[in-house]
Every structure is written in structure tokens, then in C-alpha cells.
Amino acid sequence: MNNLSTSDILVFILYFILIAGYGYWIYRKKKKASVTASHDFFLAEGSLTWWAIGASLIASNISAEQFIGMSGNGFFVGIAVAAYEWVAAIALIIIAVWFIPIYLKNKIYTMPQFLKTRYNETVSLIMAIFWLFLYIFVNLTSILFLGAVAISGLVGPEYFHVVMVGLAVFALIITLGGMKVIGYTDVIQVAVLIIGGFATIYFALTIVSEKFGLGRDALAGFNTLLKEAPDHFHMILSKPDASSSQEYISKYLLLPGIAMYFAGQWIVNLNYWGCNQYITQRALGADLQTARKGILFAGFLKLFMPVIVMLPGIAAYVLHKGGHLQVNGMDSAYSSILGFLPEGLKGLSIAALTAAIVASLAGKLNSISTIYTYDIHNKYFKKKAAEEQDVNIGRADEHKQVWTGRIVAVMAVLISLLFTWNDLLGIKGEGGFTFIQKYTGFISPGVFAMFILGMFWKRTTGTAAVAGLVTGLLLAVFFNNYAVAVFGHETWLYTAFKTMEEGKEVYQIPFLINVGWSFFFTVLLMAVISMAGPKINPKAFELDRSMFRLSPSVIAMIVITLLILTVLYAKFW
């Protein structure tokens, strides 16, 4: 670890001791309270406060792909990439107000359980298996790979595999303690993430200020970013024309201006935050008021995430442009900035990055355990336990269920390490952020269509759900790979733009536009199929206005978030 000073190493060791010690204390406290039910292990039922739920949501969300990928996009495009974070804040308001009451009223603990309750066993089983594969082979592998790349870039590339194993073991230790341990250690993880992140950007701005001859002044550094990279401070990119450069077209393909706000941006965010086991799981064990406040608190924290994960990329761009920093590709922007940091702070930044990675890994491992145990093992390998679970989930062979979950978590880690060790999935070639977006983006239209229609349209049938899932996937693949060849590069549906792919000149439709149209036609098909069924499906959820009534404190949290968002968009439009 030649790149780290003694103070850096001590800061990181202090972080590790703090997290491990606090997690162990929470675990011992839980055991003394005789709370050993499987429901507590998987959901921490009733034991997470609203601020712990909110912090845990953010900890699970922010990981290596954000620090590296979003910082890299900040380097390449600029503040427009903050749309992913700021739209997420509105998406979380929607989830808190309309989605969570439906989940809690119907005692939904897993996303496959939702599909079984609302549709049928077939849809539930298909998606349970699919989510397990997605979480293990896409999420775990990419986070481990990106995390190891980022941290080994600071401590030395020869430590790549050591770092990878260390991250996996650290996350596994936290996971084995259950959701309560994950939830409360996530509070510290988020604190470390935010403190380390803000400290990093503060020093990055002072470095910018210093390099441009303005002394060590963070505010002057930020003004320098505005002056030297004005094109990086626009939220909405205008549509390219004949005079646009290839670089600008590539930016627009990534973030297609105002059009993305009417298309895929909402589907991606609402699907991620509202129909995603390792996200919603934090709130599913709480009462409605606590769950709502926790989700809204997460939305409030999302407003500040671009400062931590995107602004360093813009700082790296300005320093690179001015000849003060060598950045080898946008994905190295964040680690390049960290190389400037003083002793001690580099250790804090590595701790912040580790906190983000470990918390995200632990959340996904717990969700893998929960889906397998509740939706596969208990139903198909232990029918007696499943029958007891349907009556009283807390009585079905509690200790064996917990140990099943723990064994599954260990197996998931071993499989992900096996596939990540020599990058068998080609994550490096595609880029971690692109790798995740590509595979999750293909299924978002169909999955979100199933959930949104299942919640709010009583006529939706199980046949329509299966058709929607398949159609959403096929349409996403079609629009991404074949639409231009079939319909041409300019239609009333889309405009495809010329770009380079694997050394060849091709036309490409912006990814978020693809997602939007895939969702639209999937919903249309599901509606047509459902019209052939009864006016009210027997499995439809009962909705009433009281479910969606908001307390004054919840309304206040929503208003504050929306006001801040309005100011941000007014400033950087």
C-alpha cells in the first residue's frame, strides 16, 4: 500500500472497527431481546426507525457504480447526469404516497410474493428466479469488480483480488447479522459516505482554485468550474443537429434532453425504487408512517448525492482540460481526484467508498437470501414450512430459515467472486455502469408495467402480466438492436443518431427513449389482453382513500423536497 500514508491506514482501520463493533453490538442486543425470528432476520420487522430506513435506502443505492460511473458521466457530460438522482427524489415521493400503503396493507414482504398475491404462482416463480440471477450475476459481480478497481487504484493494482475478497467478506459478515444489523450499520455507513464525500469535493474545489491561481478557496474553485466548463452546468441537453460534434451526440445518447423526462427516466426510477426487493425491503417491515418518513428522508438525501458522486467528475474535467491532471478515460475521473488528497483524507475517502460498496453488497445479499428462502425454498423444498408461513410467518421453523438465508448469502458471494475474479462476464469491456444499466434496463419496462397495472387497475390479469413481462423484454431488445434496421433512423417514434460502436459507424436510439416506448407498448398490450377478462379480477387489491391519506409531517417533508428541486432546476436548467 505504497500510495497510502500511515494516517490514511489508521483512518480506514478506525472506520472498520467502528462498523464491525457497532454491528456486533446491535447483533448481541437483538439476541438478548430474544428476537430471533426469520421475519426479524430478513425484514427487521418494527425495529428500524424512519431515519435508519432512509439511511439504509441510500446506503444500498450508492455504490461503486455511482462513485465511478456517475463521476465519470459528470466528467463527460456534466450536471445533466444529476437527473438520475433528482428524479429519484420525486420517484421516492410517489413510492411513499402510493406504493408502500398497498404493500403494507396486503402484507407483502417480497416482490415475488406481490406477483403471486396479485397474479399467480407462475409469474411469481419466473420473477423470483430472474431476480436471483440478476442480483448475483449483474449487481453483485459489477459492484465487486468496480469496487475492487476503484480501491486497488488507490492502494496499488497488485491488491485487486485482495480488495475484492475483503469487500465480499466484510459485506458477508454484516449480512449474516440480519436486516437490523444492516439497517443500523447503514446509518454509520451513510454518515461516513457523506462526510468523506463532502470532504473530498471540498478539497477538490480548493485544488481547482489553487491550480488556477486563486488560492485555496472552495467557493472560488466552484466558480472556476462554472467559468471553465459552462457546458457542464446545463440539466437539459438540446437535440443535436447537423452541425453537432460526435462528442455532443454521444452525450445526448446518454441523456436525451427534455425527451427523457417524458420517457425512460421515470420508468427506470420508479421500477428501481418501487419494484426492487433490496430497496423496498427496508420499509416492508415497518408501519406505514415510519416507512413513509424513511422513504421521504431517503428522497431528501438524494438531492445532495450529485455533489458527492458527480461534482468530483466535473472538477477532474476542468483540471484535465487545464493540463493539471491526467485522466485516462472518464471512469478514472474519481480516483484521479482522490490522488490529490492530503494524508488522512485519502483514508477517509477510501472509507467512504468502502462504506458505499459494502452497504450495497450487504443489502443485495440480504435480498437474495429473502427471495430464495421465502419464495423458493419454503414453497418448493419445504412445503410444510410454507403452509405454516402462510398462516403465521413467524412460526415456520425460524432458526432453519435463518440458516438457509445465511447459507444462500455465502453461496451468492462465492459465485459472484468466481465470475468476477478474472472478469468472466466482461464487465471491464462494457464499463460497470453501462453493464448494470444494460441488463436492468431491458427488464424495467415489463416489470414496471406488471407492478403499476397490478396495483392500480383491477382488471389486469395474470395472462396479461406474463405477456407484458415477455413483451417488455423483447421490445427493449428490439428498440436497442433492431429498430433502426427495420424502420430507419428517423421516425415519429424516435430519432437515431450516428455513433461509433466497436469501431463501426452505426445509428443508435437513446437508451431512455427505448425504455419509454417499450413500456408504452407493453402497457397497451397488457390492457388489450386484460379487456378480455372480467371487469374486476378476483385477485385485484382493494384500495380506499384512507390508505393514501398523509400526515402533516409527511406533507411537510414532501413540500421541502419539491421546493429544493424547483430551485435546483430553475438554477441549472
Of 405, 482, 2, nearest to 177 by C-alpha is 405
For residue range 299-310, list pLDDT tens digits in order: 999 998 888 888
Cell 374486476 belongs to: 536
- Cα–Cα distance list, 103 to 37, 107, 285, 493 (Å): 21, 6, 10, 35
Q: Per-residue pLDDT averaged across 192-207, rounded?
A: 85
Q: In 212-287, where does DSSP find H-type helix?
A: 218-228, 246-254, 264-274, 277-284
Residues 6+ apart with CB under 8 A from 105: 541, 547
For residue range 401-458, list pLDDT tens digits in order: 888 888 999 999 999 999 888 877 777 665 556 667 667 778 889 999 999 999 999 9
Residue 246 has pLDDT above 90, yes or no: no
* Domains recognised in the chain with CATH numbers: 6-572 (1.20.1730.10)
The pLDDT, as a whole number, for residue 34 is 45
- Helices and strands in the chain: count of H runs, count of E runs: 29, 2
Q: How far apart are CA 17 and CA 35, in angstroms?
A: 25
- Cα–Cα distance list, 267 to 249, 514, 528, 566 (Å): 23, 11, 21, 21
Q: How far apart are CA 323 and CA 339, in angstroms?
A: 15
- Phi and psi torsions of 527, nearest 5°: -65, -45
Residue 543 has pLDDT above 80, yes or no: yes
Q: Are 206 and 220 in contact (CB under 8 A)?
A: no
Lowest mean pLDDT among 202-206, 321-325, 379-383, 521-525: 379-383
Of 262, 261, 267, 269, nearest to 522 by C-alpha is 267
For residue range 228-237, list pLDDT tens digits in order: 989 899 888 8
Q: Count Cβ atoms within 10 A of the Cβ of residue 384 and give its class: 0-12 exposed, 13-18 middle, 19 or more buried.
A: exposed
Q: Per-residue pLDDT averaged across 135-156, rounded?
A: 83
The pLDDT, as a whole number, for residue 35 is 46
Higher per-residue pLDDT: 252 or 22? 252
Residue 386 has pLDDT above 50, yes or no: no
As given in the structure block, the three cell numbers for residue 62 are 450508492
Q: How far apart are CA 549 and CA 409, in angstroms?
A: 38
Cα 257–263–268 angle (5° rounding)? 105
Of 42-46, 208-212, 424-428, 519-523, the range with the highest mean pLDDT is 519-523
